[in-house]
Each structure stands twice: as C-alpha cells, then as structure tokens.
Amino acid sequence: MSLSRFLAGRPALGRAMSSTTAQGDADFLQSVEIFFKRAAGLTNRSPGLLENIRSCRAMLHLNFPIKKTNGEIVMIEAWRAQHSQHRSPQKGGIRYSPMVHAEEVQALAALMTYKCALVDVPFGGAKGGIKIDPKEFNERELEHITRRYTTELSKKGFIGPATDVPAPDVGTGPREMAWIKDTYEALHPNSLERAACVTGKPVPMGGVRGRNLATGLGVLFGIREFLRINHGNATGITEGIKGKTFVIQGWGNVGSFSGKFMHEHGGKVIAVAEYNGAIYKEDGLDPELINRVKESSGSILGYPGAKVLKNGLEALEIPCDVLIPAALEGQITLDNADRIKAKVIAEAANGPVTAKAHDLLVKKGVIIIPDLLLNSGGVIVSYFEWLKNLSHVRFGRLTRQVEIKAKEEIVDLLENQFGRKLTVQEKGAFAWGADEEKLVRSGLEDTMIEACANVHRVAHEKKCDHRTAAYLISVEKIATDYEMAGIFP
C-alpha cells in the first residue's frame, strides 16, 4: 500500500509522540500491575506471597541544588526505586527526562524485576530517574548533576556492587556511567569490587565489549525466534527476517541498532518515527544513511527521497510486518490501537503498549513480543559486565589462545591426511578463538533463544498470550526464590 493511499483513509491524529494515555486507558504503572495480576491469577501461590512480589520495596526521592555555569541555582528532582530484593544486587537504568515521575520509575523498577527473573539474571529490579531535559544543560552541568546524584545514592545505600547497580537508559549513556563509577570509587577507595557499581561503562573503564548494541541485538534475536516459532499463525506471518517490512519508532540506541540488524538480515525498514516527525520510503530506508543524516543535522527528517510525516505517531499505523516501538511508554493506546496494521508488535521499549490496547490487539490476532522479554538484552549483557568487574578478568583472556592452538592442530591433521595445504585466509576462517565480544554475543543469543522458547511453551500450555506467559514465568521463579529462602512456605 502506498503512503498516500494509507493516509487518505485514516483520521487525523491530534497529539505528538508522548507517553500520554487515552482517557479511560491504564497508565504505565497500572498496566504493569494489570499484567502482573493476570499472570498471578494463573498460579496457586498465596495472596500474601503475590502481594510481596508485587510491592515496591523502597523509593528514594531526592531534591538537591546545582549551580549552572551562568550562576543560576536550580533545584533537581530525582528518584531511585528498588522494587525487589529477592535477589541482590538490585539492577536498573537511570533516565534523564523532563517527563520522569515517581510512578514511571516505580513501573520501570517492577518491570526490571520481572525481566531479570524471566531471563535468569540474578538481580532484583530497580530504576532511577532525574527530571531534567539534558539538552538544557551543558556537559559540565550534567556531570555535576550526575556526580551529586551518585553521592546522594551512596549516602542512602542505593548504589553499590552488592546492593544496587545502575545502567544507562533514556537520556544517558557511557559518559554518565563513567561519571558514576568515578564518583563511587572516590567515595569507596578500599572496595575491591567498586568497578561493578555501575554497568554500561566505556570499555577502558571496565565496560564490556558489545554492551552498546546489546538491547538492539536482543531485539534481533527475539524477533527472529518468534518468527521461527509462531510463523503460519492467523496473521499469516512467515518465518525469517528476510523480506519482512519494519516500522521503527525511536532512533536512539535501541531503535538504530534494531534497524541496522534488521537491514543486515534482509529486512526492509520502511518508516522511522521520532518525536518531531517520521520518514517513510516504500522501497526501504538505509539505517547507515539515517545515522549520517541525524548526526549532521540533528534530525532524521532530512533523509533524501523520503516522505515526511509531521506527526510521528502516524508512522505506527503504516501497514507492515513488524512494528518496533523503541521510544517511550504509552505509545499504543486506545486512541490508536484499532488502527495498527502490523502483524507483529515487537516491544523494544519499556511499556509502549497500554493494558487495554494490548487486549484489543491480541483480540485482533496481533502477535505481541512483550517488553520484559524483547528489551532484556541490555540487562543480560550488563550482567556479563558485572561478572567481568567482579572477576577482574576479560572474557576470553584465559581461553582464546588455547582455542586457536587446538583448531590449528586440527587443521594440521587434516592437511596431512588429505595432502592439501590451506591458504592463510582459509586457516584464519577456521582457527580462531572467541574474544570478549563474540562471547558476549553468544551468551546473549543463547539466553534469548531459551527465554523465547519458554514463553512460547507456557503460552501454549496455559492458552494465554505471550505477555501473560512471560509474567507468569517470572512470578513463579520469584515465588520459588522466596520459598527456598523459607520466607513464604
């Protein structure tokens, strides 16, 4: 279907891309709790245990002043929620956004608890947020805010390798994580494990190779596995990424890497939406060119030859095989769910579909790959980084040369057996050892394959949708932890 035909048959949208939910719809926190209660209703666990799993353990609310370079004093509001302490440390990102509020942080922390349990990462869920627009502060001011926030977290026991480990989220990245690490180390100079206080760091500061693309790579693995397992259902979706059309909302770290991987595997990205509009090209967009356009102009809207939609939300309604919301929560609501024409919704963001929109879409037969599964690549690789920091050994350092030499011996044996010498290129293609990034990718892929299979199996056994199945797996795992501890027999 051409874009002009599509737009001619749709009503106008009255709001730009935001996390505002429709009247009568559930907000982010309410949606998470609705999904939890549905899954809890399929268990035989006691009400007291279920309430213990659902409840947020601790919420830190901070207000502190900072002085800007122009001399102005501004008050900064921030939060850190620790949802579950069934396992330690707690784990979750820190976002910088003017839309951050307490309920959002609490919802994200709860989602992190269920996400970690689903993919067998031994953390409890946490989340942090600072209510600022990063564009309104220069680098020196952002550093001051980040270091002050870290200091306040440290004073209250809300950061540490064994207690609570932050990571990047919306509006933050390796730079902010480096500031957090440096501040924590200054406050705890005698801690041998202090580098593990935060993940998502630059590699020279203890980060792990492959962390920057982890969430997007997890999106690739999750979509690939769901298309393999669920092809041929009522939507008519076929197996494999090759030849599929994709619409992506959000071209930040997660969205851009998701688009890159879909393109590399033969998929066609036909539309990309951001806060200030969207671009559409029926014969496909080049992710690398999108990156260059955005880097040079600060916006994707200058992509050559693409049609521009002034309202980014309109792109969500373009017919496609897979829609990837990779921006903020509450993007698909009762306002627009009935107009979604994707066969699959792959939730690369946290909470992009509200509870009531979810119900409407499932009723229509849309496959929804839930956020707590598809968005888990970041925390999986953060777990690997945490382990690396605790062990003080780079992945592959002890085994890579052993692997290379073992394979070289096999090559020598085959050459002697068959009387043909391999070229240098042929030997190099065979005789290699896994470095850190290869091992990280392997661990992420293996984790995603197993988690996708488990979600599909439980959905089939319980005759429920995939989101309910994912929550159910998480609830049962957390409940078992409490039982093993003797807290709730």
Q: Please identify every residue annotated as catalytic.
A: 127
Cα(333)–Cα(248) distance, integer angstroms = 17
> 243: left (phi > 0), else alpha (psi -120 to 50), else beta?
left
Helix (H) / strand (E) element for 64: namely strand 58-67
Distances, alpha carbon 198 to alpha carbons 71, 121, 344, 368, 388, in Å: 31, 16, 34, 31, 12
Cα(23)–Cα(424) distance, integer angstroms = 66
> Hey, what are 108's tokens?
């994200």
Collapsing DSSP to helix, strand or coil, 402 comes out as: helix
Nearest to 284 by CA among 317, 254, 243, 255: 243
* DSSP letters spanning 228-246: HHHTTSTT---SSSTT-EE
CB 324 within 8 A of CB 301: no
Collapsing DSSP to helix, strand or coil, 89 comes out as: coil
Strand partners, 77: 63
Q: At what angle do helices 466-484 and 47-54 cross, to 10 degrees?
A: 110
Question: Based on the number of CB atoms within 10 Å of its own CB, is 485 exposed (0-12), middle (13-18) or buried (19 or more)?
Answer: exposed
DSSP 8-state code for residue 210? T
Cα(324)–Cα(342) distance, integer angstroms = 10
Residue 323 CA to its chain's centroid (Å) = 15
What phi and psi, each to the nearest 5 degrees, are found at residue 260? -60, -45
> Hey, what are 447's tokens?
């984790």
Cα(166)–Cα(126) distance, integer angstroms = 8
Angle at 92 between CA 23 and CA 163, to 5 degrees: 135
Cα(147)–Cα(153) distance, integer angstroms = 10
Helices within 156-273 (DSSP H only): 174-187, 214-230, 253-264
Tell me whether strands 322-325 and 245-249 are parallel, antiparallel or unpaired.
parallel
